[in-house]
Structure 1
Amino acid sequence: MKHVIIGTAGHVDHGKTMLIKALTGIDTDRLIEEKKRGITIELGFAHIEFDDHTQAGIIDVPGHEKFIKNMLAGAGGIDLAMLVVAADEGFMPQTVEHLDILTLLGIRDGVVVITKTDMVDEEWVEIVREDIAAHVKGTFLEGKPVLPVSAYTGQGIPELKKELQQRVSRVAVRNEQIPFRLPVDRVFSKDGFGTVVTGTMIEGNLSVGDPVELMPSGQRAKVRTLQVHNHSVEQAYAGQRVAVNLAGLRRDAVVRGDTLCKPDTLRLSRMLDVRLTDLKDSHRIIENGSPVHFYHGAAAHIAKVVLLEQDTLEPGQSGFAQLRFTEPVAVKRGDRFVTRFYSPMETIGGGVILDDCPPRHKRHQPEVIRALTIREGGSAGAQLQQLVEEYGYALPTAQTLAQRQSMPEEEMVQSLEDLVNSGALLEILPRRYLAAPLYRKACRSVEQVLAEYHKANPLHAGMKVAALRQKALRGAELKEADAILTAMLRGGTVTAIADRCALPDFRVVLTKRQTALRQKLLDSYRKSGREVPFVDDLYASFPNNERDDCKKVLENLVSCGELVMLTPQLFYHKDVYEEVCALTRDFFEGHPAFTLAEYRDLLGTSRKYALAILEFFDKTKVTKMVGDHREVIGSL
Structure 2
Amino acid sequence: MSVIIGTAGHIDHGKTTLIKYLTGIDADRLPEEKEKGMTIDIGFSFLEKEGKKIGIVDIPGHEKFIKNMLTGVSGIEYIIFVIACDDGIMPQTVEHFNILKFLEIKNGIIVLTKKDLVTEEKIKELKKSIREIFKNSFMDNLPILETSIDDIKSFEKLKEKIFFDVEKIKNKNLDKNFLMYIDRSFSPKGFGTVVTGSIGEGKINKDEFLYIYPQKTKIKIKNIEQHGERLEYIEKNNRCALNISGIDYKDIRRGDFLYSENNLKSTEIINVYLSLIEGNKIKPNQKIRIYVGTSEIIGKIRVLEELSKNNFLCEIILEKENYFFQNQLGIMRNYSPLVTLGGIKILKVFGKKVRKKTIEYGEYIEELKNTLLGLENKNKEINIDKILNFLLDYHKKNYLEKGIDTKELKKFFSNKIENIQEIIDELTLLEKIKVIQGKISLIDFKIKLTKDDKKIKEEIFSIYKNARFLPYKYEIIEESLIKKGYQLNNIKSIHKYMVEENMLEYLGENRFILSGYFKESMKLLKEYFESEENKEKGITLGEFRQLINTNRDIAILLINKLEKINFLVNRKNIRYIKGE
Q: Is the 8 A contact 1:267 1:357 kept in 2?
A: no
Q: How far did 1:295 drift?
A: 0.7
In structure 1, which of residues 322, 344, 347 is the aligned counterpart of residue 340 of structure 2?
347
Matched letter for residue 305 of structure 2: E
Q: After alignment, is 116-125 or 330-339 more displaced?
A: 116-125
In structure 2, which of residues 323, 326, 349 is the aligned counterpart of residue 330 of structure 1?
323
Matched letter for residue 69 of structure 2: M
Q: Is the 8 A contact 2:11 2:62 kept in 1?
A: yes
Q: Is the 8 A contact 1:309 1:363 kept in 2?
A: no
Question: Who is 1:67 aligned against?
Answer: 65
Secondary structure at 1:201's aligned position in 2? Answer: strand
Aligned counterparts of 1:13 and 1:376: Cα–Cα separation in 2: 39
Q: Is the 8 A contact 1:179 1:265 kept in 2?
A: no
Matched letter for residue 369 of structure 2: T
Q: How far did 1:29 drift?
A: 1.0
1:23 matches 2:19: no
Aligned counterparts of 1:166 and 1:213: Cα–Cα separation in 2: 37
Question: Who is 2:151 aligned against?
Answer: 153
Question: Who is 2:189 aligned against?
Answer: 191
Question: Who is 1:428 aligned against?
Answer: none
Deviations, residues 411-465 of structure 1 (Å, cap 9, x unaligned): xxxxxxxxxxxxxxxxxxxxxxxxxxxxxxxxxxxxxxxxxxxxxxxxxxxxxxx
Secondary structure at 1:202's aligned position in 2? Answer: strand
- Name the CA shift for 1:289/1:230 in 2 (closer, same or farther; >3 Å): same
Deviations, residues 500-541 of structure 1 (Å, cap 9, x unaligned): xxxxxxxxxxxxxxxxxxxxxxxxxxxxxxxxxxxxxxxxxx
Question: Who is 2:236 aligned against?
Answer: 238
Aligned counterparts of 1:259 and 1:187: Cα–Cα separation in 2: 11
Question: Who is 2:126 aligned against?
Answer: 128
In structure 2, which of residues 85, 103, 110 is the aligned counterpart of residue 87 of structure 1?
85
Matched letter for residue 27 of structure 1: D
1:9 matches 2:4: no
1:377 matches 2:373: yes
Matched letter for residue 289 of structure 1: N
TM-score for both structures, normalised by structure 2: 0.62
Question: Who is 1:291 aligned against?
Answer: 287
Q: Is the 8 A contact 2:267 2:323 kept in 1?
A: yes
1:131-530 residue pairs with structure 2 within 5 A?
A: 131-280=129-278, 282=279, 284-310=280-306, 317-363=310-356, 365-378=361-374
Q: Is the 8 A contact 1:215 1:261 kept in 2?
A: yes
Aligned counterparts of 1:9 and 1:113: Cα–Cα separation in 2: 10
Q: After alignment, is 183-192 or 350-359 more displaced?
A: 350-359
Aligned counterparts of 1:247 and 1:295: Cα–Cα separation in 2: 28
Deviations, residues 462-486 of structure 1 (Å, cap 9, x unaligned): xxxxxxxxxxxxxxxxxxxxxxxxx
Secondary structure at 1:184's aligned position in 2? Answer: strand
- Name the CA shift for 1:48/1:253 in 2 (closer, same or farther; >3 Å): same
Aligned counterparts of 1:302 and 1:382: Cα–Cα separation in 2: 30
Secondary structure at 2:60's aligned position in 1? Answer: coil
- Name the CA shift for 1:382/1:21 in 2 (closer, same or farther; >3 Å): closer
Secondary structure at 1:142's aligned position in 2? Answer: coil
Deviations, residues 540-569 of structure 1 (Å, cap 9, x unaligned): xxxxxxxxxxxxxxxxxxxxxxxxxxxxxx
Aligned counterparts of 2:136 and 2:375: Cα–Cα separation in 1: 26
Q: How far did 1:380 drift?
A: 8.8
Deviations, residues 356-400 of structure 1 (Å, cap 9, x unaligned): 2233344462322222222222379999xxxxxxxxxxxxxxxxx
Aligned counterparts of 2:373 and 2:49: Cα–Cα separation in 1: 38
Matched letter for residue 14 of structure 2: G
Matched letter for residue 340 of structure 1: R
Q: How far did 1:127 drift?
A: 1.7
Secondary structure at 2:69's aligned position in 1? Answer: helix
- Name the CA shift for 1:267/1:32 in 2 (closer, same or farther; >3 Å): same
Q: Is the 8 A contact 2:217 2:246 kept in 1?
A: no
Question: Who is 1:42 aligned against?
Answer: 41
Deviations, residues 582-604 of structure 1 (Å, cap 9, x unaligned): xxxxxxxxxxxxxxxxxxxxxxx
Aligned counterparts of 2:179 and 2:5: Cα–Cα separation in 1: 19
Deviations, residues 119-158 of structure 1 (Å, cap 9, x unaligned): 2222221122122222222321112111111245324223
RMSD across aligned positions (CA): 2.1
Q: How far did 1:113 drift?
A: 0.6
Gaps of at least 5 residues in structure 2 are: 380-580
Q: Runs of 4+ in structure 1 displaced over 4 angstroms?
A: 379-383
Q: After alignment, is 360-369 or 116-125 more displaced?
A: 360-369
Q: How far did 1:269 drift?
A: 1.2
Q: How far did 1:100 drift?
A: 0.5
Secondary structure at 1:309's aligned position in 2? Answer: strand
Secondary structure at 1:263's aligned position in 2? Answer: coil
Q: After alignment, is 116-125 or 2-11 more displaced?
A: 116-125
Aligned counterparts of 1:331 and 1:30: Cα–Cα separation in 2: 31
Q: Is the 8 A contact 2:327 2:375 kept in 1?
A: no
Aligned counterparts of 1:37 and 1:115: Cα–Cα separation in 2: 20
Aligned counterparts of 1:358 and 1:201: Cα–Cα separation in 2: 27
In structure 1, which of residues 88, 94, 106 is the aligned counterpart of residue 104 of structure 2?
106
Aligned counterparts of 2:5 and 2:375: Cα–Cα separation in 1: 31
Secondary structure at 1:156's aligned position in 2? Answer: helix
Q: How far did 1:265 drift?
A: 5.0
Aligned counterparts of 2:215 and 2:263: Cα–Cα separation in 1: 14
Matched letter for residue 332 of structure 1: F
Matched letter for residue 292 of structure 1: I
Percent identity between the aligned chains? 36
Deviations, residues 24-53 of structure 1 (Å, cap 9, x unaligned): 2221111111111111111111111245x5
Aligned counterparts of 1:330 and 1:200: Cα–Cα separation in 2: 18
Gaps of at least 5 residues in structure 1 are: 384-636
Q: Is the 8 A contact 1:226 1:244 kept in 2?
A: yes
Structure with more relative contact order (C-alpha pairs < 8 Å, separation 6 or more): 2
TM-score for both structures, normalised by structure 1: 0.57
Q: Is the 8 A contact 1:112 1:145 kept in 2?
A: yes
Aligned counterparts of 2:53 and 2:363: Cα–Cα separation in 1: 48
Matched letter for residue 284 of structure 2: N
Matched letter for residue 374 of structure 1: N
Matched letter for residue 304 of structure 1: K
Q: Is the 8 A contact 2:288 2:299 kept in 1?
A: yes
Length, aligned pairs only = 376
